Structure 1
């Protein structure tokens, strides 16, 4: 897309552990963004049905009772709730990148689903490596989830939370000429002032540095923690001290790393909307392109396996792969013989 256009980053709490109510709230936010002329809206990490903060508040086993309702309220591809999001994107002519807990069979994944302005699915990616105790709830993605997609607005990619602390993951994204990046965060209101790297300062800096390193626009969507979420998960005074209401620090950063908007009140809900122009990327790229002219491939290179890694492969799939490899080997042998004959 040529010329400037509007994008939005969501700062809001979900209706925790309520799939249908959270989807309804998401649709309202999409409609609001569409009415304001926004062309792409970004939602926070696992916004549907909410981030499972109980894993940080006690031994993970103590929260196993929450897994039944959490699983039941996670989003399934092709479900009516999935269709409602697609319809909202199409109705408003807006791209939507939704952060969600995705249910596949008996497993959950920290996913980001990208809907096009026509309501069609552009991508469904999963967090490559859930962080720390997140691994007690969620499974892992694979290299195919580290993808940047061509869209009418530009080349769009997405990562979740502390994937922005992984240098190699970031470099794999930068190298795909990412122009618009969705950084999905769950809120910054856990262990405030008392724990390593869990507050707003470092995590906001991670979004800002991603913009500067990748010379791209970053839509840093950040959820808030509602009082209802605190009431649900904090059944002791100690837990109430650990998890606080608020924690929203959504913003949008330019390709020079500068914030494009003032921060909202961290307890407030709403849309951070900015007008962006991809032409600004050319100036940043001219100064420094770490995955391009500012790189040293003779010294450093990244090995990146971007192939899907299915948990189960049928014999039919295996046979096809073997046949393809055999055909390639035969072609190479014929080429070698032909070259020798010459």
Structure 2
């Protein structure tokens, strides 16, 4: 049974990552979690690939130029069985604050756009990967699978998360809505690439996507974002042309209610800080009275979603009976070893 009586304070981060620095990113994560906890938040949400920062170089120059970042980015990506992830998990437990973390997820030599939902006791409720990286992100990150579109039970009721332009995927959103999501983490990078030349990558479209998600799903939405600061320029911007492609700022963190209202005053696009809002799930019931696209406002006799939510293994082990091996050897052409 879904509980609509919960009230708590939630927080969304707007800050610059510690670029290409796993340990530095962990330290800043802990500092911001401490700040949010000290200000009364029960959960704090971090931007997309917060650790070790979003790979902005993929939008700025040739593959040959980008190659200087490939190894450093992989080395500073987060492994879930690492001491660094354990420190973040332990911080959540020590502070009694839940953490929704965005990170580059390294498994072997492959990277994925990861999110982790960690409870206030330090329990890992869910880890997920972006189902389909967007545009040139595919040159860095692999795909997730259906198990990554999941809403889980938590101390905040039904909790879920998506990354960035996943909020522009109608079927992805519907799969989440159908799981009775109440609190949603909409993690974004910053919005300042190709400013004035690619409107769809800018803040108007993407903050609207977070707001529309809240209205369509009748859920509260925490939408943290990163910032492009001088540290990013020092790392990635080595020409005047690149300064035109990637502007300083781009921070547009938001918190939305299930009726689409903005619940926290935005910070300036260049300002680091944390947004806070009081959450009351009774407002979800009011919103669902008007719109519930997976309930009374649906027509499953006309439109339905086919959803494969199973995890996909890249290796399927099958046992071949010993007799089959013997038959194969018997039938092998003469002279074969």
Query: What range describes the TM-score normalised by the shorter chain of this pair?
Result: over 0.9
TM-score, structure 1 length as denominator? 0.91
Partner of 1:130: 133
Per-residue CA deviation, residues 222-256 of structure 1 (Å, 9 max, x unaligned), is: 11112111121111111011111111000100000
Aligned residue among 293, 307, 314 for 2:317:
314
Alignment gaps of 5+ in structure 2: 322-337
* Counterparts of 2:254 and 2:165, CA distance in 1: 17
Measured in 2, the distance between the counterparts of 1:66 and 1:152 equals: 39
**Aligned pair 1:275/2:295, yes or no?**
no
Is 1:225–2:228 an aligned residue pair? yes
1:24 counterpart = 2:27: yes
Which of 93, 99, 111 matches 2:96? 93
RMSD: 1.3
Q: How does 1:1-80 map to 2 (within 5 A)?
A: 2-80=5-83
- Is the CA contact 1:183–1:220 (under 8 Å) kept in the aligned structure 2? yes
Residue aligning to 1:200: 203
Please give the per-residue CA displacement for 1:206-235, whole angstroms capped at 9, x wherever unaligned. Answer: 000000000000000111112111121111
Instruction: Tell me by how many angstroms 1:59 deviates.
Output: 2.5
Q: Offset at 1:4?
A: 2.0
CA contact (8 A) 1:60 1:133 kept: no
Whole-angstrom CA distance in 2 between matches of 1:61 and 1:134:
16
State the alpha-carbon separation in 2 of the partners of residues 136 and 41 from structure 1: 30
* Aligned 8 A contact 2:187 2:225 in 1: yes
Which secondary structure does the structure 2 equivalent of 1:85 belong to? helix
Does residue 305 of structure 1 match 2:320? no
Residue of structure 2 equivalent to 1:336: none
Count of equivalent residues? 318
Between 307-316 and 252-261, report the one with greater CA deviation: 307-316
Give the aligned partner of residue 292 of structure 1. Answer: 295
- Alpha-carbon separation, structure 2, partners of 1:293 and 1:124: 31
What is the alpha-carbon distance in structure 2 between the residues aligned to residue 24 and residue 290 of structure 1? 41
The aligned runs of 1:209-220 (5 Å cut-off) are: 209-220=212-223
* Cα pair 1:60 1:136 within 8 Å, conserved: no
Q: Deviation at 1:61? A: 4.0
1:304 and 1:278 mapped to 2: Cα distance? 27
In structure 2, how many angstroms separate the alpha carbons of the residues matched to 1:96 and 1:30? 8
- Contact 2:217–2:293 (CA<8 Å) still a contact in 1? yes
Deviation of 1:3 after TM superposition, in Å, equals 4.1
Give yes or no for contact 1:45–1:99 (8 Å, CA) kept in 2: yes
Query: Are 1:167 and 2:170 an aligned pair?
Result: yes
